[in-house]
Amino acid sequence: MVVFVGLIFVVIGLIHFYLWKRLVKDPLPSRRARRIGAGIVVALAVLVPATLIGVRSGAIPWLAWPGYLWIAVMFYLLVTLAVLEIPRLALVLVWRSQRRTGKGSATVAAESDQGSPAAGETRAAPVLTAVQPETPDEPGVDRRLVLARGAAIFAGLTAASVTGYGVKTALGTPRIDRLQIPIAKLPRAMDGTRLAVVSDIHVGPLTGVDHARRIVTVINSVQADIVCVVGDLVDGSVAELGRFAAPLAEIESRQGAYFVTGNHEYYSGFQEWIDEVARLNIRPLRNERLELGGLDLAGVNDLGGADAGDPPDFRKALGDRDQARPVVLMAHQPVAVHEAAPFGVDLQVSGHTHGGQMAPFNLLVKLEQPVVSGLGQVDGVPVYVTNGAGFWGPPVRVGAPPQVSVLELRST
């Protein structure tokens, strides 16, 4: 753990050193401006771990907004500047090639001016003083300065604009994603059953009570038969956030609302939240299965529960069941499908990925989870992953809007 934390600090330091180089040292020739810029970069570098530690522990909650917003801006500055490195390098190589070509031409010209030696004369050594070393006042240096300033301004405007758009998206009303999913064993009488799948609500210090209220309004608008809350409901204790989660008691559905733990419940006191969720009329599924008409609905604890002594138990939830009946499994992480597949699951609904939350971060999520967003097929099991209705860390969503998913089950 100590090694991991140390590695995080090293990465944060390297990122800010790179930002200092491209945003302060390269575009600002003034020593005074560089010193001021370096001080700002150091302060922002300290802000990142202070936010991650202080907000999570509840010790410094006021850091949440400035700290998390800077993390988002930092991320998009890093991405933009990294992309700009390619054209920057190409221009620098072209300019170097032009200077070498110019120097070579000047040298040839200087030698030609000596003329041919007369008969019996010895030719003097070529005069090379015609080519002087490049000085800071020459055009090449100015071009590099203009390039550095242009890249810094472009990166700053891009990062600020993308972050602003992401904040507006993250704090907006979740979108409804509708999808029909055929299930061969589904009885005709249950054809058209609607599941409202919501995950990663992340009630926390930045959300307030309106966050949960918006989500409940969207859920109730779809008139679902079954509501599946697939983990990561909160980021804090019941004492801190219970009032923000209270609107969840107003969820409406024909056959009930159900909940399974996500990894963040185990950071927030999972047992007290299980009790609180039950008090809000949402039934926790603790490695268990229910019969809802002709459909089985099963739920397993999150994979992260193993470290807290509350692991998932797929055999308990899915074993000894009537294989002729269809079963929908609620599991927070899509990767849980690898353990669920041998039990003949007909559909798994999951969250956890946030759809990547901040593109292009979604490309990294693919390295850990088999499905990042939407419907996929893993080990022969259909897996649907919702983007989640909230956000974690920065209140920013880019390329993965908040979502409540409506899955209409169709018999075939």
Name the residue ranges covered by the structural domains of the chain: 2-107+139-168, 174-411
Mean pLDDT of all residues belonging to the chain: 90
pLDDT at 23: 97
Structure tokens belonging to residue 87:
């054209």
CA distance 58 to 5: 19
Percent of the chain topping pLDDT 70: 89
pLDDT at 171: 95
Structure tokens belonging to residue 403:
């979502």
pLDDT at 134: 46
* Closest to 334 (Cα-Cα) out of 316, 320, 315, 347: 347
pLDDT at 277: 97
- Name the pLDDT band for 110 (thresholds 50, 70, 90): low
186 pLDDT higher than 70: yes
CA distance 128 to 107: 6
The tens digit of pLDDT for each residue in 331-340 reads 999 999 999 9
- Name the pLDDT band for 113 (thresholds 50, 70, 90): low
Q: Are 56 and 202 in contact (CB under 8 A)?
A: no
Comparing 32-46, 115-129, 170-184, the range with the smallest average pLDDT is 115-129
CA distance 384 to 365: 15
Comparing 100-109, 134-143, 242-251, the range with the smallest average pLDDT is 134-143
Q: Tell me the average pLDDT across 86-112.
A: 76
**CATH classification code of 174-411:** 3.60.21.10
**Count of alpha carbons within 13 angstroms of residue 89, beta-carbon side:** 6
Q: Tell me the average pLDDT across 387-393.
A: 96
Q: Which residue has the higher pLDDT, 109 or 338?
A: 338
Q: Are 362 and 401 in contact (CB under 8 A)?
A: no
Comparing 127-131, 191-195, 224-228, 326-330, the range with the smallest average pLDDT is 127-131
CA distance 175 to 181: 19
Q: Which helix (H) or strand (E) holds 260?
A: strand 257-260
55 pLDDT higher than 90: no
